[in-house]
Structure 1
Amino acid sequence: MRIGLLSRVHLGPLAVLFALTLSACLLISGLPRATESAYDEALRRALAGAPGVQTDLTVTVGTWSPAVDLRERAQFDSRMRVWQKILPATLRPLVTGPGHMNAKTAATPIAGTGGSSYLNLGWLSDADQRVEWVQGKAPGAPSTMRYEGETIPVFEAGVVEEAVREMNLRIGSTTVIGEHDYAAVKIVGVFRAKQADDRYWSHHNDILHVLKLQPPGSLDFERHATALLSDAGLAKLSGEGRNLAYRWTLPLDPRGASALDVPGLQAAIAEFGRVVDIQSTGTVAPYSLETGLPHLLAEFQAQLSTAQTVMYLVLGGLLAVALGVIVLAVQLLSDRLDHTLALTRARGGSLAQVAGTAAALTAMGVVPGAVAGYALSYLVPGTARPIVHAGPVIVVLAAAGFAAVRIALAHRTPLHERRADVATARPSAKRITLEVLIVVLAVAGAYLLRARGLSASAGQDPFLLIVPVALTVAAALVTLRLYPYPLRLIVRLAARGRAAVPFLGLTRAARARAASVMPVLILLPALAVSVFAAVVSDGIAGTQRLASWQRAGAPIKVTSESEIPAAVIDEIRKAPGVERVVLAQRGQVQVGYGAERAEALAVNVAEWRSILSGAPVSLPAVSGGAIVSPELRGRGTLDLGWQSRFKVPTAAVAESVPGFFTTGKFLVVPLEVLLRPAVNTLLIQGDADVAELAALAPSATVISQESALAGIQDDPLTGTVRATLVIVTIALAGYALLAVVLLLIVGAADRARAVSFLRTLGLSDRQAQWLTVLEVLPMILMTALAGLCLGLALPTALGPGVDLSSYAGDLPVGDYSPDPVLPGALAAGLAVVAVLGAYAHTAISRRRSLGAVLRVGDLT
């Protein structure tokens, strides 16, 4: 047959197919690319935001005798070359730079301090590039001195300014360290990090700061400092009698990380650790790999798995709905071809010929649209997953295959007449049994998913992907089977009335053929998935807002490690936008007279509650008593030590205190119980500029609820999930409206013929409009209602399987309160489109003469 001529004759349906296919392939191929790009960016941010000590690969070995000591830089360099050589190929693109090495002692007490102060020794391979000497000089070669009748080494070393203040390590002072194998440390200089915020220093926090540790059961703190040695000092540093360890660090560059490589990276790290362990064969001291990268990758993989699950659900629904709308358009084209192909079949055309003609003509519309949509998807940055390439192919094959199969079934025999005026036959017992089984299995699957949660195995849980599909199919089957019964009841009521139009319109709707109920299979998943996406998006947004208040605890919070001066507080009170300032002090209190301690906050609870008015968080209303954590409940009056001894009765119990405490032992006490409050926290009501407040209190940290919310939302994975949900919601709503329009167009010929019959009996234009509306509107409303109910139920049904807490400030997203605006807008939109389409169809049909619709003999 002449495909070119047929394409010109049926240019309108082909144009519709082209547009639908282009949009479907652009969405199906573009959205996965966008999500993959966001996944990569999220991984890079997660790795870049983590301390280097967690992401970098560090090989460590301990030494305890001169036989395994490393005394020269060259010995460190040779081992670094070994680690770089055995690094797996998967990790090499992420490990950049030459790396760095260090040697440090640990837990070296200062003689005569009773174990309260410790001074360790450290050597950094790149110290000359990392530090600058602000006082004194750089360390030189060690010397010796006599101590308790023995000759001990004296190491020249430098310390940070913090160690000078807190441990009295002044330039020129000499400190003896050790318990038995003594050594001395002479402080010759004070240094400062050139870039203290560099990720490098996370490996050496003990060098930049004095660490304060509280031993279990003790009320006092231990102070640990590390002094910096020179290369000459390394040559005299031995592990004999000391806790000495050597480390080689391979820094990780997050810029080359890809989410697709996460499983391979985890396997490569395990392999690297195994090979490093093998290098210990034949040596006295074993090598080991230290890194927090597997834990970070596992956390990211969990977040990624949740994001992919949501994406699979909504993109799968989008693909199914898009295919359904395209199939409707193919049905429209095949209906237009029906007469031509029937003549071809009657004149000797084979079944393969007519089916091939339908498939070829369909392909002329869908193939260019698929190619154009696929090409346009490359404008979206991101990695191309298999679905990017497979999606357009699936669309083309489904459209062409449906056209061929439908025509082949319709024209099995030449001139096969079909009755269009007979109601659908009753379904068989086998079919009813199968449909009941599907519904039962879908409900049972949803129950089991809530009961057992997700599978612990790696990757996507197929159970989570099957249950939504089963629920959608079950809802569609229930809708199709139950739809005629209430309609027939309404028909009986309409039959008692005097008006014929309601009876005729509802009767035609109740006797709809199986082909005309196909839109149910499109509208229902379209509405269900779009409502599901909208409800989940709203749930994430609401939980994000709650999490931001949990983090801030007030519209604006100012915290400081030390007391905030009264003059600064007065300036903050006078700052523009500040309406009220609530004073508070945070610290640690002694519970009773033993070693038990708890985090505490002293504040006027009534004033704090007043500035939280309208916020999703609050505190129990108390007057004079303490709010305690569950760990401190039931103790009656608490005897506390904080500046002085005082007693306070327990007034209420709170699971958390917004902005301060979420776990552990904590309590909130009235500010007036302190003799002299040392205010280090301000809770501010108003919309003041955070930067201005930070400038007024440079030593404090200023956080607002709005900045906390922006920090939660400013995440590639979070933004991608919400953006994809919004896009899919809009796309599915559009497809649902297109399905209604195509429904009207597909049944236009049959509907025009029926209206023409009735016009010969005196049917007016207004009655024809109402007849069309009553014919199509009941199915649309029933399907819309079923789709909305399913969409509202899916978040609850899938709740345990879709953990969205990582996108909502680590709070569980469980409040899926339905928003009446979206369901009402969707249902109203579908109804309006149906009514407008019915009116437009009636207006078009009115222009036709009866002779153009009715054949000779139709009225006899």
Structure 2
Amino acid sequence: MRIAQLVRVHLGAVTVLFTLALSACLLVAGLPRAAQGSFDEALRGSLATAPAAQADLTVSVESRSPSGDLHQRSEFDFRDRRWREILPAPLRPLVTAPGHQSAKTVLTPITGTGGHTYINLGWLSDADQRVEYVQGRAPGKPSSMTYENATIPVFEVGITESALKEMQLQIGQTKVLGENDYVAVKIVGAFEAKDPGDRYWSHNLDILQVTKIQPPGKLDFEKHITTLIPDEGLAVLSSEGRNLGYHWILPVDPSEATALAAPDIDAAVADFDRAIQLQASGGGYHLQTGLPKLLALFLAALGTAQTVMYLVLGGLLAVALGVIALAVLLLGDRLDHTLTLARARGGSLRLVAGVAGGVTATAVLPAGLAGYGLSYLVPGPALPIVHLGPAVVVLVAVGFAAARAARTYRTPLHERREDVAATRPSARRITLEVLIVVLALAGAYLLRVRGLSGGDPFLLLVPVALTLAVALLTLRCYPYPLRLLVRLTARGRAAVPFLGLTRAARARSASVLPVLILLPALGVSVFAAVISDGITTTQRLASWEQVGAPIKLTSNIEISEATIDRVRALDGVEQVVIAQTGRVQVGYTAERAEAIAVDMAQWRHILAGAPIGLPALSDGALVSPDLRGRGTFDIGWQSRVKLATRGVIDSVPGFYTEGKFMIMPLDVLIRPAVNTLLIKGDVSLDALARLVPSATVESQERALSAIQDDPLTHAVRWTLLVVTVALAAYALVAVVLSLVVGAAERARAVSFLRTLGLSDRQAQRLTVLEILPMILVTALVGLGLGLLLPYALGPAVDLSSYAGDLPVGDYALDLFTPLALAAGLAAVAVLGAYAHTAISRRRNLGAVLRVGELT
């Protein structure tokens, strides 16, 4: 037989199969690429936004004797090259940019301050590229001076301009450092960072900022600052009598990171640390980095994203294959007369199966190649599924067509009357189906009880088993309520309800395939919609928890009343609630707690309609769990205040989530020093920032955008949306194809009945009653399965990484999507039934009745 001629004759069915195979191959190859590309983007964003001190690799050593001191830049360069040579292979793509080296002392007190003020000495290999002097001059060669009858070195140093004021120092001033082995520093210049926002300064914050430390049990703070010395000072800098450390910074390039390589980095970092300890002469070298921790957090979020995506993409592939099988079934029905005649004339079974497979391959093979090629337009790496997915689609379609033909035409002539009586299932089949249902229920129970450990494939099997179990139960139970309805309608005088429901109850075995397609299609699409809606709801809650008000303005200094009045006068401002925050003394001890003084009634008013709330408070204080049970507090803030405990609050939205904290009424303070404004209204954040330059402005909408715009979160929600739409489309296609597959047999039956006086209106009602029960039952069961899956899988899937670190567990029952899908399927079924009867009405009854007869 000529396959090309058969393709031309049945071009409509071939085109449908080509279109479905093309869409399936494009989705199965393109979505994983897009998802993996989003994973890579998320990892790069995570590394780029993390402090460089965490992401970069820092090799450090503490010099314990003058013999181990480094005095020349070349000594640092030599070791830098050595560290790069022994980098493990997984780290080499990440560490390509040049780094920098430093030498710093720590805990170097100013003589005579009793250990309250420290000036450390620091050398940066690229200081001339990073800072510029705004006062005085750059430091030069060290000199010497006599102190307590001994000659000590004097280092010329530069200091950040802000530290001059904070530590009450002056240019030209000389300070002696140490308690026994003394050195002196002469401040000759003040500098500023050329780019204070550069990630580089994450490694050297001690140079830009004064560090304040409150020793345990003390009320006063220690102040620490690191000054800069030149290369000439490095030659004199010694570890004798002071704590001196050397550091080599190997910067990690976030743009070279990939999610696929991330699991290997942890082991590579450990190997690098061991290699450093073995290779370095003198010992004491070790690796400092937070890269494994950053990757662990990312991989935890990635694992959840991959799990969710594997579930929905697996469901999408299964549904796509089912719809393609329906299309193959449609094409097989179109070839039925030709293949039956060929078999009756002596054609071999191999020939018949080969023709069916060849015609199918003519449609799906070009579609697979086209879908595979189009997937390369999607940005992202080519995973194994990108290559295997289209091949699986093509092989399943061709294999199903050939196997069906071999089974159908195994005898030269075949007569099928599956619409007359249903075959009784074998004991082996019943046992297998019962086993599947039991295993699915046991798996769901165990998943609810014990959760899921990372990498456990059990999670992927439970949804599949549940879907299969529900499908089997639906297929087994579906005919019984219909038979009951048939008995009820048999007592009536109208023939159409009886005939329509009878044909539905005796549907041919091919109707099983639409059920197996619609169930996972609706189940997975509703599951994806519910998960996406749960993430969206929790994201909104997290944004309110982070900010605590529509707009929050916090200042590090007091906000004057005149400024507050100007804020109230801005266009769009509806209400302003003033508050004061700070650390308070608890009792007369060194214990400290965070506190906020605010008019709680006004704050509760601006939170009206928000997903968060606050308890009422008129007097006393609300305290954190760490402060519960203490009765009345004696608080030291601006003055001594006594407050009775009025309740316990786990967190204060926008302010405190853990530790010791309390909320008190604003009027307990004699003169509030307002440093926080809670604002309601539609006002420009930039205008507020310009009005209060010392303040940081946050908004709930901006916080929500930051959560939603996270690359990993965006990838999960985008994939869920695409899969939901694709599955809904496949479900509708399955309904249409199920109508078309049985169209010939249905037209023949309606034509017989029309010869007996069946009117066109009755024919329409008959067709609707035959089709609609299967659609409605399957739709309702599939929707119920989709609504159940989030609760069944809830303990095993942690979605907090995509919802502002809040657990996603409150899946509100939003019936819009389920009802829309059910209504769409029902509407398509009804319209298809009416279209079918309209087409059948135009056919010649004699021609229809002769279709398929071989006598």
**TM range, normalised to the smaller chain?**
over 0.9
Alpha-carbon deviations, 1:486-505, whole Å to 9, x = none? Answer: 11111111111111111111
Match of 2:680 in 1: 685
Alpha-carbon deviations, 1:539-570, whole Å to 9, x = none? Answer: 11111111111111111100011112222212
Q: Percent identity?
A: 70
Q: CA deviation at 1:535?
A: 0.6
Alpha-carbon separation, structure 2, partners of 1:496 and 1:242: 104
Q: Report the secondary structure of 1:186's partner residue.
A: strand
Alpha-carbon separation, structure 2, partners of 1:93 and 1:101: 21
- Checking the alignment, whether the CA contact within 8 Å between 1:38 and 1:720 is kept in structure 2 is yes
Alpha-carbon separation, structure 1, partners of 2:95 and 2:599: 52
Match of 1:205 in 2: 205
- Checking the alignment, whether the CA contact within 8 Å between 1:523 and 1:784 is kept in structure 2 is yes
Please state if 1:497 is matched with 2:492.
yes
1:783 corresponds, among 778, 781, 788, to 778
Please state if 1:609 is matched with 2:604.
yes
1:640 aligned partner, one-letter code = I
1:475 corresponds, among 470, 478, 482, to 470
Match of 2:758 in 1: 763
Q: CA deviation at 1:530?
A: 0.5
Q: Report the secondary structure of 1:519's partner residue.
A: helix
Alpha-carbon separation, structure 1, partners of 2:428 and 2:116: 83
Q: Report the secondary structure of 1:121's partner residue.
A: strand
1:81-480 counterparts in 2 under 5 A? 81-280=81-280, 283-456=281-454, 460-480=455-475
Q: CA deviation at 1:368?
A: 1.5
Alpha-carbon separation, structure 1, partners of 2:794 and 2:418: 46
1:647 corresponds, among 642, 646, 649, to 642
Q: CA deviation at 1:165?
A: 1.0
2:573 corresponds, among 554, 572, 578, to 578
| Count of residue pairs the alignment pairs up | 854
Match of 1:25 in 2: 25
Match of 1:66 in 2: 66
- Checking the alignment, whether the CA contact within 8 Å between 1:132 and 1:192 is kept in structure 2 is yes
Give the alignment's TM-score, normalised by structure 2.
Answer: 0.98
Alpha-carbon deviations, 1:448-496, whole Å to 9, x = none? Answer: 112222224xxx3201111111111011011111111111111111111
Q: Report the secondary structure of 1:663's partner residue.
A: coil
More off after superposition, 440-449 vs 401-410? 440-449
- Checking the alignment, whether the CA contact within 8 Å between 2:595 and 2:663 is kept in structure 1 is yes
Q: CA deviation at 1:101?
A: 0.4
Alpha-carbon deviations, 1:580-631, whole Å to 9, x = none? Answer: 1100011011112212211111100000000000000110112112111111
Match of 1:745 in 2: 740
1:652-691 counterparts in 2 under 5 A? 652-691=647-686
Match of 1:797 in 2: 792
More off after superposition, 397-406 vs 24-33? 24-33
Q: Report the secondary structure of 1:343's partner residue.
A: helix
Consecutive unaligned residues in structure 2, runs of 5 or more: none
Alpha-carbon deviations, 1:358-389, whole Å to 9, x = none? Answer: 00000111111112222221211111111111
Alpha-carbon separation, structure 1, partners of 2:178 and 2:46: 41
Alpha-carbon deviations, 1:121-177, whole Å to 9, x = none? Answer: 111111111111111111122222222333222211111122211112211222222
Q: Report the secondary structure of 1:276's partner residue.
A: helix
Alpha-carbon separation, structure 2, partners of 1:366 and 1:197: 55
Alpha-carbon separation, structure 2, partners of 1:98 and 1:420: 76
Q: Report the secondary structure of 2:324's partner residue.
A: helix
Match of 2:77 in 1: 77
Q: CA deviation at 1:857?
A: 13
Please state if 1:717 is matched with 2:715.
no
1:585-604 counterparts in 2 under 5 A? 585-604=580-599
Alpha-carbon separation, structure 2, partners of 1:588 and 1:676: 16
Please state if 1:731 is matched with 2:726.
yes
2:449 aligned partner, one-letter code = A
Match of 2:627 in 1: 632
Give the alignment's TM-score, normalised by structure 1.
Answer: 0.98
Q: CA deviation at 1:856?
A: 11
Alpha-carbon deviations, 1:161-215, whole Å to 9, x = none? Answer: 2221111221122222222222222111111111111111000000000001122
> Structure 1 residues 813, 832: closer, same or farther in 2, change over 3 A?
same
Alpha-carbon separation, structure 2, partners of 1:493 and 1:625: 71
Match of 2:550 in 1: 555
Alpha-carbon separation, structure 2, partners of 1:320 and 1:421: 28
Please state if 1:844 is matched with 2:839.
yes
- Checking the alignment, whether the CA contact within 8 Å between 1:585 and 1:602 is kept in structure 2 is yes
- Checking the alignment, whether the CA contact within 8 Å between 1:160 and 1:207 is kept in structure 2 is yes
More off after superposition, 267-276 vs 310-319? 267-276
Please state if 1:523 is matched with 2:521.
no
Q: Report the secondary structure of 2:235's partner residue.
A: helix
- Checking the alignment, whether the CA contact within 8 Å between 2:418 and 2:509 is kept in structure 1 is no
Alpha-carbon deviations, 1:786-805, whole Å to 9, x = none? Answer: 11011001111111221111
Q: CA deviation at 1:242?
A: 1.1
Alpha-carbon separation, structure 2, partners of 1:421 and 1:836: 24
Alpha-carbon separation, structure 1, partners of 2:558 and 2:525: 52
Q: Report the secondary structure of 2:204's partner residue.
A: helix
Q: CA deviation at 1:97?
A: 2.9
Alpha-carbon separation, structure 2, partners of 1:257 and 1:97: 14
Q: CA deviation at 1:216?
A: 2.4
1:622 aligned partner, one-letter code = L
> Structure 1 residues 260, 856: closer, same or farther in 2, change over 3 A?
closer
Alpha-carbon separation, structure 2, partners of 1:147 and 1:751: 111
Alpha-carbon deviations, 1:204-257, whole Å to 9, x = none? Answer: 000000001122232222111111111121111111221110001111221122
Q: CA deviation at 1:750?
A: 1.2
1:47 aligned partner, one-letter code = L
Alpha-carbon separation, structure 1, partners of 2:590 and 2:437: 61
Q: Report the secondary structure of 1:667's partner residue.
A: strand
Alpha-carbon separation, structure 1, partners of 2:373 and 2:79: 50
1:667 aligned partner, one-letter code = M
